[in-house]
Structure 1
């Protein structure tokens, strides 16, 4: 694939969302960006759905969802938006599934999941929706794999994942669904696995070399990338506190091996919980959490591009874009929204997505550690949080009722 010129890629500003929210679910189709649910400033799930017309740059409020939810999964099926699972007001996982008819402006309830789940990763292929992993009411990671057939309004179970996890990254390539980068409690998962949709069997690939929380992943035509994250203290490193990293690890599909890139090819900024995507022959990262950079909720002020050579080999170079920062390049109809990468064609193998939710940044390490843990709870990633934080969250929720 030819690498597009840096000068041909630029950032554009769009109007801010009418409703402030975090842990929302964006989907994109036909020059329209839809934002569903999320948590309000008081920490309660929302039922709001809003649409941005990219051409007119105007937001429109759409009919509310039947079920308020945050941290849900969503996919677009033709002219319909299917939203799956998530978290309710009691911070419990949901099993409900709703579908929104874009042309008619109406919601309809669909067959629920067999088991409530939050932190699901979902992909679509050939008109079917695949929901993988998640976390149940017992806070344990799930290995569940379910496929939804719209014509039958039915969820069919598939062989479970070898590694239970939630909040993972998933990608479609050919007839396989690749899953990597999830979580089990406080621990990030390094497993890298793929489900063959023809044989209905799982294959284990070499694990991600280093264990990093809030890392993000991307897929290109020939490689998978595991980028950045929060390195946690433990026997594998000498740090006493969590710290951000700029690690770049690449899995070559043909060779079947991971390589850790040299310092010259690492991200320019150490960051975690950021947005990442593949467009124009480059892996682009934007936003996220870092120790020294103050982030804005509506404007990205960090973005980097890792160029991918057209020929074979693993040598790559990294370029810091010096253009004024605002929003994502539209040169290939791509959007970096919150911590979501929204391709115009979600089934395209050239434009792949990886989702995480955006949150407000903190400028010192204690605030970052605290809010990183709170983020896991609100996303359905329940962890063991200190009693002071538990009291804080409970008091905020009670005070808002």
Structure 2
């Protein structure tokens, strides 16, 4: 029996002796567990049925769940049935009680987290969540959000908010984002660390969320608009974008009042002249005291483009001796980053983390299945596992951390095969295309892959297909209005844009796809000759890089003005062949290894 003189050990500055004692003690305890010695409780667990022996003292010390379970029960041969946790998961968590460690995998992390919550194992909960967030590309972002809803785990909720804050531009384009509840979105938007390059990015995301279900979200909209740094907008933006939103009039006028300092007063007063201005000021005086929606943030966010990972463009140019050109936004000019020696043509390249992956292509007349990775920082090559199918003129995209190689050709054979690459499993085949094709383009949007256009044998295609990775199925979508061969394509603000036709002359047709309505429409054409056009979304703008200039041996660079349906010309890029273009962090191109 313990006596009152028993004391807890006190850690001194030199605690090596105590540490050795604890290590020896824990090693002996785990030895008892491993040998099933001095066991005083056995759990009978289902699915599949198994007996899991343990020591009550250890489990009670590890979890209040077990402490309450054993309280007052002196049965020396206690057997307890566990029916709501699979035996493998339960045994792993019992082991955790002894060692503080357990084997968590992408396949079992969801079940492990649910069981750890049930058993009140706080450290195991933390381990599961940390593992999930470290492997979120393999587990999928959508899966993480679903798990958070199912478990209501506060630590997971916190980590997801942090992830959404840091990866806001990508998350805000997903289908899952449109189903966020207002509290989750509010916590992300009010963060000073929201990773955006300009405040308009957050506004555009709110509008997409609001437009997804306008009737149900009208009352919630002002709560989200109040999370914006409204005083960072100019007067025109406040009056034309914020003030017309339902319930947001006071927020707009409060922001206008706040920025009404001497140097801005003239402009603001001009905006309030006439009947409309008098009516607005009268409305403010009448209703301002009654509203509980306040101007919450009057300063800029703590994170801005200069310190939160500003993005720029990196263009892959020419055919074999490749040039990498980076875009300098401040000076609106392109400058050389480096050159790459490459002995392939008709490959496809994709950005994966800090690497450019060159997949397939033609080498010395053969069509290999080779896959190579070129590290942007170190400027070094590395071989990756070869594809199952040799292919060229195919499409490559990344979805949920997995690389897909789609269609293409092998010799004269047009392919419908599709394969997927992960670091853990290598290349594996997935469902084939409905229509075999090469020289098309593919993008990802709302957790799905869309492939458009290209050719099949001797016919050019208008057809579009959509791949759902959850069901491993391709479905047909509405045809494009025109055929597009080797077009540029990008997902931008919830739509898909397809630009150009390699053989076009005079102008390049641009089409936009609405996935909700399954409809295509034409927008303003690019006034360029044929050639490769890379399409990319950067800073909430749609960029078209490529297409031959009629006046010089350069390629055009254009930015789409959606409000006025026109293309604005930027500084041309000094290369005639643009293979592809990527959005990369500026510090990736400036860091030293």
* TM-score bucket (shorter structure): 0.5 to 0.7
C-alpha distance after superposition, 1:108-132 (max 9, x if no partner): 3332111211012111233321111
Counterpart in 2 of 1:273? 532
Q: Structure 1 residue 141 and structure 2 residue 414: aligned?
A: yes
Report which structure shows greater RCO (CA 8 Å, sep ≥6): 1
Change (3 A) 1:125 1:244: same
Deviation at 1:58, TM superposition (A): 5.7
Matches within 5 A, 1:213-362: 213=485, 215-229=487-501, 244-261=506-523, 265-269=524-528, 271=530, 273-289=532-548, 293-297=550-554, 300=555, 302-309=556-563, 317-321=565-569, 325-327=571-573, 338-344=578-584
- The aligned length equals 276
Give the superposed CA RMSD. Answer: 3.8
> CA, structure 1 residues 184+81, in 2 after alignment: closer, same or farther (shift >3 Å)?
same
Q: Where does structure 1 lack aligned partners over 5 or more consecutive residues?
A: 6-28, 40-45, 232-241, 310-315, 329-334, 346-401
Higher strand proportion, which one? Answer: 1
1:254 CA drift (Å): 1.8
Pairing partner for 1:210 from 477, 482, 501: 482
User: Is the partner of 1:95 in helix, strand or coil?
Assistant: coil
Change (3 A) 1:257 1:106: closer
Structure in which a larger fraction of residues adopt helix: 2
User: For 1:2-401, what aligned pairs fall within 5 Å after superposition?
Assistant: 33=314, 35=316, 39=319, 46=320, 59-60=337-338, 68-90=343-365, 92-101=366-375, 106-137=380-411, 139-152=412-425, 154-213=426-485, 215-229=487-501, 244-261=506-523, 265-269=524-528, 271=530, 273-289=532-548, 293-297=550-554, 300=555, 302-309=556-563, 317-321=565-569, 325-327=571-573, 338-344=578-584
Bigger CA radius of gyration:
2
8 Å CA contact 2:441, 2:487 repeated in 1: no
Q: 1:225 to 1:108 in 2, by over 3 A?
A: closer
From the superposition, tell whether residues 303 and 80 of structure 1 become closer, same or farther in structure 2 (CA, over 3 Å). closer
Q: Is the alpha carbon distance of 1:220 and 1:186 closer, same or farther for their aligned partners in structure 2, counting shifts above 3 Å?
A: same
TM-score by length of 2: 0.41
SS at match of 1:109: strand
Q: Who is 1:373 aligned against?
A: none
CA distance in 2, matches of 1:31, 1:282: 12
What is the alpha-carbon distance in structure 2 between the residues aligned to residue 76 and residue 339 of structure 1?
13
Match in the other structure for 1:25: none
Classify 1:52/1:219 alpha carbon distance in 2 versus 1 (closer, same or farther; 3 Å): closer
C-alpha contact (below 8 Å) 1:287/1:295 kept by paired residues: no
Shift, 1:57, TM fit: 5.3
Structure 2: unaligned runs, 5 residues or longer: 1-200, 205-232, 235-309, 329-333, 586-593
Deviation at 1:181, TM superposition (A): 2.2
